[in-house]
Amino acid sequence: MTDKSKGRKDPAAESAEGQGVNHFDAWLADAKKKGDPGDKTPAKPEAAELGGDDRSPWLGDEKPKDAAGGEEQKPWFLREEPRKPSYARPPDPDRELTPHYGDKEVVFFDNRRAPRVLITPNAYKRMCLYVELAEKEVGWLGTVVMTRNGDFLIDHTYLLEQEVTATETELSAEGQAKLVEDLLKKGEPGFEEVNRLRFWGHSHVRMGTSPSGTDESTMKRFYEEGLPWYVRGIFNKKGRAEFCIFLYEQGLRINDVDWFVVDPATGNTLLEYERPSLFGGTRKRWKKVPKPEPKEGEDKETHERIWGWRDNYALVEVEQEKKPAPAELAIDDALRAEVKAEFELKVKERKFFSLWDTLFGSGDDDKAKKKGEAPASTDSSSDTGGDAAKNAAAPTGPEDPADKPGSK
């Protein structure tokens, strides 16, 4: 490397080349020597390009003066102190303690975890049949036991007498009262089952499992009844089941908790969620397929650009292979026939009348009223008169919060 300011070889560069130092170190040593203010030897002008010399513009001999007219600014490799920022932010002043808005979070400590929902095989199979047979939204109750670990075990389910629609299901007071009446006929065991009715499940058919306004008002009803806790489950035909645990005494609600199907006799887990792989994701859902040939009349380049084929194969998503259900969870014909008969007996579809019939009526009684005649009725059991209407409107069970003003 030639020192252009003195017309001789740079000793530092020669030693660097001899020791195998890279070109950048040699260039840096040469640049430092050129920028040394102690070197007063004027540089020899060489072939200048665009009004400058062959050196980098920021390494030139002429440096701009600072605003105060002091000595020249040194390049970065000659500065002893780092450059200070153009502005300095003053430190925050000390002040008294002031409340702030914080993110609310509930954390389980001492190696504890959130409670889970455990389901017995019998309850699981019945709920699967409820969802499978129901083309409308249908609900049911179940008995729950709290385990020593704080989990909630659903061991029995009971289908309620109800009227269903395609988009709504309500936990009617009449259906609950009829179920309690049937359970109390068993004596002491039935009384214990009534006290353990702490699970409400219902199907959303093919919609999502997010709770509706009616679902939320129903859970508020259990809180007003003074229950310490309750479990809610929302299901659909797409295989999703979402459980929520309401801890009323603690004022907590745990959404979308883990749930498993367990054998109460052995404690073995029969059905659980798919655990992630060691690489942090679920199992592979892609496979290679041979590259198809373009159709007749289709441009090959356009075909490859649209479909994004690579090499001679393509990646397509594949469905997970359905694992065979354990023998304990197989639904036999006897259970299916039993649940189907119970379904036909207790579940009725709610009938809706047209707006024209509601406003103007279409029956013989309405026509008689329009003519000023008394409605023709020979049935002594029909409700005629104000007292009979009041008796028909009186509820037969506990008050339903869905009938309160403002409830939906």
Report the range out of 31-35, 131-135, 231-235, 369-373 with the highest average pLDDT: 231-235
Q: Which residue has the higher pLDDT, 342 or 408?
A: 342
The pLDDT of 167-194, averaged and rounded, is: 87
For residues 230 and 200, what is the distance between their CA atoms, to the nearest angstrom? 8
pLDDT of residue 269: 92
- Please report which confidence band the pLDDT of residue 47 belongs to, taking 50, 70 and 90 as the band edges: very low
Report the range out of 3-17, 37-51, 88-102, 285-299 with the highest average pLDDT: 88-102
pLDDT of residue 142: 97
Q: With 90 as the cut, is the pLDDT of residue 194 above it?
A: yes
Q: Which residue has the higher pLDDT, 378 or 7?
A: 7
For residues 116 and 260, what is the distance between their CA atoms, to the nearest angstrom? 8
For residues 123 and 115, what is the distance between their CA atoms, to the nearest angstrom? 19
Q: With 90 as the cut, is the pLDDT of residue 367 above it?
A: no
Residue 178 Cα distances to 57, 189, 211, 393, angstroms: 94, 17, 26, 18
Least confident of 56-60, 71-75, 117-121: 56-60
Q: Which region, left, alpha or beta, applies to residue 20 given φ > 0 means left and ψ of -120 to 50 means alpha?
A: left
Structure token digits, residue 408: 């939906």
Q: What is the largest CA-CA distance in the chain?
A: 131
pLDDT of residue 235: 95
For residues 255 and 275, what is the distance between their CA atoms, to the nearest angstrom? 19
pLDDT of residue 42: 53
How does DSSP classify residue 89?
P
Report the range out of 56-70, 132-146, 283-297 with the highest average pLDDT: 132-146
pLDDT of residue 357: 53
- Please report which confidence band the pLDDT of residue 256 belongs to, taking 50, 70 and 90 as the band edges: very high
The pLDDT of 174-180, averaged and rounded, is: 91
> Domain residues of the chain, as ranges?
2-78, 117-271, 286-317
For residues 216 and 198, what is the distance between their CA atoms, to the nearest angstrom? 15
Q: With 80 as the cut, is the pLDDT of residue 135 above it?
A: yes
Domain spanning 117-271 has what CATH number?
3.40.140.10
pLDDT tens digits, residue range 99-134? 988 888 888 888 889 999 999 999 999 999 999 998
Which pTM does this prediction carry? 0.57
Other C-beta atoms lying within 10 Å of the C-beta of residue 164: 21
The pLDDT of 247-256, averaged and rounded, is: 94
pLDDT of residue 388: 36
For residues 302 and 144, what is the distance between their CA atoms, to the nearest angstrom? 61
Instruction: Write the DSSP string, 42-66.
Output: PPPP---STTS-SS-GGG-S-----
Q: Which residue has the higher pLDDT, 281 or 317?
A: 317
pLDDT of residue 335: 95
The pLDDT of 165-193, averaged and rounded, is: 86
Residue 161 Cα distances to 180, 186, 220, 334, 336, angstroms: 12, 19, 22, 22, 18
